[in-house]
Amino acid sequence: MKVAAVQMVSGVSLADNLAQARSLLEQAAQAGAELAVLPEYFGAMGLRDSDKLTLCETWGDGAIQRFLAGAARELDLWIVGGTLPLACDSPGRVHNSTLVFSAQGECVARYDKIHLFRFDNGRERFDEAQTIQAGREPARFTMVARSGTPWRVGLSVCYDLRFPELYRAHARAGADLLLVPSAFTYTTGRAHWEVLLRARAVENLAYVLAPAQGGQHENGRRTWGHSMLVDPWGTVLAQQDEGPAVVLGELDAAHLAQVRGQLPALEHCVL
């Protein structure tokens, strides 16, 4: 099955970002992708953290959700909507949520980001908990490729990547593909992005598809990019350093079965 990681450099305008996302999704569909995944915060990278509150939608309706449903249906493409802000029960906060839309335009899964990023090196400071309410439960979905092969998919977002327990839970539930839509900072991405993605693939014997924000944003932030597809042996199959792009690659069920058969590490796990 061909899949696509959509890399963006989202700005502050929702309309402009959705237009760019639509163009990149069209490229993915034209290239034969059956699944396309947008990066974290694809709809907007605001001037202030609180800007996401103004874009908050109620689950089930809103401009971003209508965009995702319409694009999936019109392009005959499964689309994972990176993240968007959804209403929560905590005043002044939102959930940072991933929504999955089938090729029929139906929302079939939702994941609220569990682990919230906090970083302060004296020059850069981030604290997502100021505006985001953490999710509580992992989420997975199953899609059937046009070939008839089912793929079990585990959802995660950005900072989740540093917590292997989440991915092991996905593996124990039968996940074949792990998704990591992200907006890694340039500093942390340069240090840890690739090694963490490859580790999650190797230790869980699964494909990892990681679309990212990648470049210099209007708000002054620089993100690492390097969207990539990693196979279950830890090989990087496709990658884009910076800039808007569609990173394409193939998932091979036979290769997945071969790797799991020759090194059945998941069966040997005792803790």
Longest dimension (CA), the chain: 52
Question: Which value, to the nearest 10 degrees, does the dihedral of the CA atoms of residues 211, 162, 199, 154 take?
Answer: -60
Catalytic residue among 34, 52, 158, 242: 158
Active site annotation includes 218:
no
Could you confirm whether 52 is annotated as catalytic?
Answer: no
Catalytic residue among 34, 40, 128, 242: 40
> Is the CB of residue 260 less than 8 Å from the CB of residue 232?
yes
The span from the CA of 107 to the CA of 124, in Å, is: 36
Q: Which has the closest alpha carbon to 191: 124, 265, 116?
A: 124
- Among 257, 261, 253, residue whose Cα is nearest residue 147: 253
Relative to beta strand 214-216, strand 222-224 is antiparallel
Catalytic residue among 34, 113, 128, 242: 113
Angle formed by the axes of helices 63-75 and 14-30, nearest 10°: 20
Q: Give catalytic residues, as residue numbers.
A: 40, 113, 158
